[in-house]
A = this chain, B = another copy of it.
Amino acid sequence: MAKTDNIVISSRIRFARNINNLPFPQKLVGNEPKLKELYDTVKEVCDSKFKNNMYYIPKLNNLQANVLIENHLISPLLCKSEYGGVVISADKTISVMINEEDHLREQCILEGYVLDAAYAKLLDIDKALRSKLDIAFKEGFGHLTACPTNLGAGMRASVMMFLPALTMTHTIDAIIRKMNDHGVAIRGVYGEGSTADGYMYQVSNQAAVGRSEQEILNIVKSVVEKLCDMEEQNRKTLLSRRGVDLEDEIMRAYGTLLFAKKISSQEFMRNIAMVKLGVDYGFIKQDIRVLNKLVTDTQKNTLCFNAGKELSVSDRDILRSRLVRETLTKKA
């Protein structure tokens, strides 16, 4: 296990692309023939590259759309788009959103700290798409995008990180302020601002203009690697400072996940974070990837979707606890 495996959860690259001579997505009315062509071309290119499913957003029900949002495959903004659609690879690593803020939002998301691999994979799709589409791009200027922050490289590189020690030692706040000055944003992932839930943070470049794709990758990677070192150091400090109290807190969280008969999403997030820390310290034997998948699978809509129906809060809490128990007690 690489030392980053219990710190970096996933790596994501996103490209923003637009089509020449087509109004931005908010103003598409009347362009139906061109839109059909766009959809057909994207689907055709994707089919040539990977197994996939295409969804036309206005045809999805709320549950279906929310599951895709919870799995980071579409954005909440896409759901508001009158002409929104998405192509999602069967393995869920690639998604191409159509008519979100830009005509195309291409994304590759991979588990672990593999930003370069995600970039290479998405670049391959991007090349195939631009060979068939009239992408708005000017040498020396870069890509045209709907929002100025994406101009130029039109790229966002982001890494989802699990930073419990930096959070518990209150070191994270100063880091966030300092990193913002370096053009890198660090945001709590679950519940804007309330980072304590799962100790999860997204680290990404703030602007793309004036920087090459490689420069963006490098700046994000250098921050991620610094955060990994600091988190690792802080985990050691935390354990030596809190000792058995910390072990007690971790093991109680594990006991709760193994025995509770109902559990809210919030309590689950708090406890799974402690369990992941416990795996890192060697107190608990579990596969980190299995725990990370559980974080996705226990979310409200994903839970209902897999159950095949809408569920009350109470029924979700019961179902969530069962899924957690079964997953954690399953023999590897």
What residues of chain A have their CB less than 8 Å away from a CB belonging to chain B? 244-245, 247-248, 251-252, 254-256, 258-262, 318, 321
Contacts and interface: CB of A to CB of B under 8 A. Distances in A.
Contacts of A248: 260-262, 321
A255 B258 CA distance: 7
A247 B322 CA distance: 13
Q: Is the interface of A mostly helix, strand, loop or mixed?
A: helix
A252 B260 contact: yes
A256 B261 contact: no
Contact of A255 (B247, B259, B318): B259
Q: Taking the full assembly, how many copies of this chain does it contain?
A: 2
Contacts of A244: 261-262, 318
Given A244-B318, A248-B261, A255-B259, 18 more contacts: A244-B261, A244-B262, A245-B262, A247-B261, A248-B260, A248-B262, A248-B321, A251-B260, A251-B261, A252-B255, A252-B256, A252-B259, A252-B260, A255-B255, A255-B256, A255-B260, A256-B256, A258-B259
Nearest to A315: B244
List 9 A-B pairs, minimum CB-CB distance, nearest first: A255-B259, A255-B255, A248-B261, A251-B259, A247-B261, A248-B262, A251-B261, A252-B260, A244-B261
A259 B328 CA distance: 14
A12 to B, nearest CB: 35
A315 to B, nearest CB: 10
Contacts of A262: 244-245, 248
7 contacts: A244-B318, A245-B262, A251-B259, A251-B260, A255-B255, A256-B256, A258-B259
A318 B245 CA distance: 10
Contacts of A258: 255, 259
A256 B256 CA distance: 7
Contacts of A254: 259
Contacts of A256: 252, 255-256
